[in-house]
Structure 1
């Protein structure tokens, strides 16, 4: 039996600790490991809120900025109890709640300033907890994205935590474009300010573009025993240099990734999705679920755009109760460049799709929050197009209904390390239209279990996106046998965690 420690910024196994798909992975993989008879500990930051009503375990005395500070380890109750898994949070006054999903911070003046502070402290506290043997002897430490890579800095350079060398380190890349770049010197949120006593090798930690900075994503790639991307195709993408905006590849880290690949440390393994013990939406509840959530939101003092929520979105949904559409297209995603760059680059293309839908009595439902400029774009377009319903919020009930009741799930991602939304839609037999990139290549097979578009240039991709959407509507309305056959293929596709974790054991967790 192995003893695992998962270290992450998110964990959807506990309440209110999710911003994206990484939280799903950190929820699901430990469950599969435990089902195989292993012991798993999962630790995330408390963000000044998740430790409330939790069980106190221990003080963690750490050194930051040349002084002793105290963090606190708590065990928290998960949403569902599984034998062999324990969930923890680490509290410290400077590990603050963020303004993005109450987790991450957006610092436009100094990117990653606040997050670097809290993850420097979090990683140090995790190292201390391992030293105090609070997770028992850890065989494998599985790190997720740049927020956790500083544990490898402590392993390599901090004599206080030499015990970390006894564990095997796996580093998963969920989104290479976010790299946690911070100054080495002359800044509060810098390595030398937080750890003035620790010597390190400049060439190992430095960012190749900003030589006075540390690149925490690069640190994980350079120092982990195994490096993992969340789909095979994304691994191939990031070994090549980016050619923006047409192609998003290694984002300046391709040389580090090529080196890791040549050393036999880099693996691409497709994420899985659950097929058992899942939340099942009730058919026919999409519009009531939307309206119920809208009325909850307009009662919240902090909720913005209340008049928009009620007068625009709500009014449209009420009309659909008596006049249901014949076709529902949908998307659920954060409002970011990664997810909706094509719409931002050419809003007329998206409007053309909406017009084509309107001609067929179809609607488009988009749910998500994110960058203000993308939210504003979607709100403006929703005012122009009665068949576009923009739900500017997050709701599991609405999301579950969308995955169940849509006719088409649309993922025009500029790049996609893996993607889970397409798997969740396909699980219900809903066809997907995707940009042919990353993990979407590994899951959606064009004209077999879904639809795809691509192109040599951005303009080609956008034109082909509109053409592909027209093709979707043509198949739906003129070739029902083919549509039903493709839906059956989508529902029968399997991306199981059992298979994924089997590959983890053989490729990531074995020396």
Structure 2
């Protein structure tokens, strides 16, 4: 029996521990490993909240800032029990909940200041737990994004953690754009402050652009035994330099990624989607679930600043209860540059889409929260356009209804390492219209399972986006057999975790 440790910032196998797609992967891959009869331990920070109903396992004592720190390890109960999977959280008062999904901190003036401190403490506690044998004798340690890469620094440079060199280390990149860059010195949240006794290998750890800083994403890429991007096409993208907004590639780390590729350490394997135990939504509840969510948010003190807007959205939705629209386009996503840059930079293109929809009695439903400037833009658009319904919040019931009852799922991501929304939409027989980039290239086949747009320049992309939208409407209205065929093809496609985890075993884990 092989023994694995997953180290990450999110784990959706336990309640209230997910901000993005990483949480899904950290939930699903261990389940596949357990089905093969192997054993998995998954550890995430407690964020001062997730340990509260856990079972205390042990204290972990380690040195940081020249003093002894003590963290506590708890085993916690998952949403669903699986054989041979154990879920843990590490609690320390300085590992606090952030303002993004009660996980990450948003430090606009000094990015990663608070998060780096949290993950310095977390990773050192994990290193101590491995050293103490808390998880037994490990074969593979699988880390996710920059939050866990400090483990590699400790294994490589910290004299107390030489014993960590015995197992294999795999590093998955979920979002290359977020790199965990911190100063080497002269800052409370610097490497030197937390690890004063370790001689720093500036050349091996430094960021190319900010030479006085460590780049924790780069540390993961440079020091792991295997590096993994979450789709094959995204792997090809990251080997080339970015030239935004036309192309988002290696984000300054392409040299490291090229080297990993040349050494045979870089692998692109698609994320899977869940096709078993899906939360079942009933058809015909879309508007009811929208109104229910709006009433719930109206009662929340934290949302009082947008109460007017929530009421305005409710009023719009009530019209569609009586008279449902003929065509629903939807998007569910965090409101960020990655997901909606095209709409932010070219709002006139989005308005054209709404006008095209109006002609066929269609609406656009967008659900999400995120960057304030994106929220404000979409709220204003909702006041201005009667057929744009913006639900500015998070509701699982409503999300399920949107995936179930839409006619077209729209995903104009600037870049997309893998993307899960398109898989969830297709699972329900919804064709998707996507920007042909990264994982969207690997999952949506134009005119077979969905629709796609691209272009060499920004302007070309925008005009192709509108042309593709016209094509969608044309097929929907005038070629019902073709539309039905694309829907059926989308529903049939399967991106199963079993297939992709077979590949993990072959190329990432070498088991």
TM-score greater than 0.5 by the shorter chain: yes
Are the aligned partners of 2:294 and 2:311 in contact in 1 as well (CA < 8 Å)?
no
Q: How does 1:435-446 map to 2 (within 5 A)?
A: 435-446=435-446
Q: How does 1:254-269 map to 2 (within 5 A)?
A: 254-269=254-269
Q: Specify the SS of the correspondent of 1:73.
A: strand
Q: TM-score, normalised by structure 2?
A: 0.99
Q: For residues 201 and 166 of structure 2, what CA distance do their matches in structure 1 show?
A: 21
Q: In structure 2, what is the equivalent of residue 233 of structure 1?
A: 233
Q: In structure 2, what is the equivalent of residue 22 of structure 1?
A: 22
Alpha-carbon shift at residue 309 of structure 1 (Å): 4.1
Q: In structure 2, what is the equivalent of residue 59 of structure 1?
A: 59
Q: In structure 2, what is the equivalent of residue 93 of structure 1?
A: 93
Q: In structure 1, what is the equivalent of residue 478 of structure 2?
A: 478
Q: For residues 60 and 394 of structure 2, what CA distance do their matches in structure 1 show?
A: 35
Deviation string, structure 1 residues 194-234 (Cα, Å, up to 9, x no partner)? 00011232111000110000000000000000000000000
Q: Is 1:365 matched up with 2:376?
A: no
Q: For residues 3 and 309 of structure 2, what CA distance do their matches in structure 1 show?
A: 48
RMSD of aligned Cα (Å): 0.9
Q: Specify the SS of the correspondent of 1:275.
A: coil
Q: Is 1:407 matched up with 2:407?
A: yes
Structure 2: runs of 5 or more not aligned = none
Q: Specify the SS of the correspondent of 1:302.
A: helix
Q: How does 1:131-280 map to 2 (within 5 A)?
A: 131-280=131-280
Q: For residues 361 and 181 of structure 2, what CA distance do their matches in structure 1 show?
A: 48
Q: For residues 245 and 19 of structure 2, what CA distance do their matches in structure 1 show?
A: 25
Q: For residues 460 and 299 of structure 2, what CA distance do their matches in structure 1 show?
A: 44
Are the aligned partners of 1:31 and 1:85 in contact in 2 as well (CA < 8 Å)?
yes
Q: For residues 65 and 158 of structure 1, what CA distance do their matches in structure 2 show?
A: 14
Q: For residues 226 and 200 of structure 1, what CA distance do their matches in structure 2 show?
A: 24
Q: How does 1:277-292 map to 2 (within 5 A)?
A: 277-292=277-292
Q: For residues 64 and 358 of structure 1, what CA distance do their matches in structure 2 show?
A: 60
Q: Is 1:469 matched up with 2:493?
A: no
Deviation string, structure 1 residues 304-329 (Cα, Å, up to 9, x no partner)? 44423432111111111001000000
Q: TM-score, normalised by structure 1?
A: 0.99
Q: Specify the SS of the correspondent of 2:449.
A: coil
Alpha-carbon shift at residue 285 of structure 1 (Å): 1.0
Q: How does 1:447-466 map to 2 (within 5 A)?
A: 447-466=447-466
Q: In structure 2, what is the equivalent of residue 313 of structure 1?
A: 313
Q: For residues 115 and 249 of structure 1, what CA distance do their matches in structure 2 show?
A: 25
Are the aligned partners of 2:419 and 2:440 in contact in 1 as well (CA < 8 Å)?
yes
Q: For residues 241 and 338 of structure 2, what CA distance do their matches in structure 1 show?
A: 17
Deviation string, structure 1 residues 402-449 (Cα, Å, up to 9, x no partner)? 111100000000000000000010011100000000000000000000
Q: For residues 472 and 285 of structure 2, what CA distance do their matches in structure 1 show?
A: 25
Alpha-carbon shift at residue 298 of structure 1 (Å): 1.0
Q: Is 1:340 matched up with 2:340?
A: yes
Count, aligned residues: 511
Structure 1: runs of 5 or more not aligned = none
Are the aligned partners of 1:286 and 1:405 in contact in 2 as well (CA < 8 Å)?
yes
Q: Structure 1 runs of 4+ off > 3 angstroms?
A: none
